[in-house]
Amino acid sequence: MLIRLDRVQVVALDRAASAARWRLLFDAEVVREDRVAFLAATRTVLRVGESELEILEPDGVGLVAQHFSRVRSAVFAAGFAVSDLGAAAAALDARGIHHVFEGDQIHVTGEWLGIPGLRVVLTRDEPRQPAGLLARFYEVTHLMRGHARAAERLAKVFDLDPAGFVPIRSEEFGYEGTLAMLARDRLDRIETVTPFDLSRPMGRFFARQGPCLYMCYAEARDPVAARERVLAHAPDAYTGPRQGTPDNFWVHPRALGGALLGVSRETFAWIWSGHPERVQPVR
């Protein structure tokens, strides 16, 4: 059902200010503004590479306003492209998954999915002209105790092949989990993980917060240019190598309105995604 991770939804009390940060740091481009009644929120949509970032600002009592009172991360929902929204809605109906169809999107909450803390939005797949310094989003990270159950549920609800899922464990960051890959030949996935070291930042966050979306990851065609832009405007929010071509770096939430962003050079994420032979050398 799911073709690719094509967007990330984040929340902001001032969406104009949040959009300005993404434009400043990554040359993201504003493509439209509207309102999502189901979420009781106004929305600014930016092009980030070939993906879209939806910034949601509450304008009434609803899910976005509730998010601010409950969740410390600005990451609100993972968005996936599907070939046919009507067919996707029918498939969800067949699985008994409640959903809301509004405009050109389908919204599903974690409660309806049976995966606490994971919201999903589905949008019809379409080609886009890339914009800015980032290439695309390819991962959202979901925190939950019992990641194997979440991965099993994702496979069932969205007709994913669990044989293509990749186990993941990080002693450095103190978690273990599953990369629920959408396809064997693409990096697009949901990383669903359980922190086991509560002294690490992710573990401390999870101990306070509970199940939620924690961060998102993007690729950069020119990671040096992306790094230098962040260092020029938000040096205290950057973690990563400062010399050479970075394989990975992170932009702290304070620079992006509460959203934690990881950036990797193109193909490098295959090194922990089951196919290290697919990592291309630095040019």
**75-106 pLDDT per residue, tens:** 999 999 999 999 999 999 999 999 999 999 99
Asked if 4 and 182 count as a contact pair (C-beta separation under 8 A), the reply is yes
Which amino acid type is present at position 257? G
Domain that holds residue 216: 136-278
Q: Are residues 51 and 95 in the same domain?
A: yes
The pLDDT score that the predictor gives to residue 119 is 98
Would you say residue 150 lies in a domain?
Answer: yes
The pLDDT score that the predictor gives to residue 227 is 98
**23-78 pLDDT per residue, tens:** 999 999 999 999 999 999 999 999 999 999 999 999 999 999 999 999 999 999 99
**Low-confidence spans in the chain with pLDDT less than 70:** none
Q: Are residues 94 and 175 in the same domain?
A: no
Q: What span, in angstroms and rounded, lies between the C-alpha atoms of 259 and 16? A: 15
Which amino acid type is present at position 68? F
pTM reported for the whole predicted model: 0.97
The pLDDT score that the predictor gives to residue 283 is 78
Q: Are residues 162 and 199 in the same domain?
A: yes
Q: Are residues 147 and 227 in the same domain?
A: yes
| Upper half-sphere CA count for residue 262 (Cβ side, 13 Å) | 15
| Upper half-sphere CA count for residue 31 (Cβ side, 13 Å) | 18
Would you say residue 167 lies in a domain?
Answer: yes
Read off the CATH number of the domain in which 23 is found. 3.10.180.10
Asked if 37 and 101 count as a contact pair (C-beta separation under 8 A), the reply is no
Count of Cβ atoms closer than 10 Å to residue 99 Cβ: 18
Query: Any idea what DSSP says for residue 49?
Result: B
Q: Are residues 168 and 218 in the same domain?
A: yes
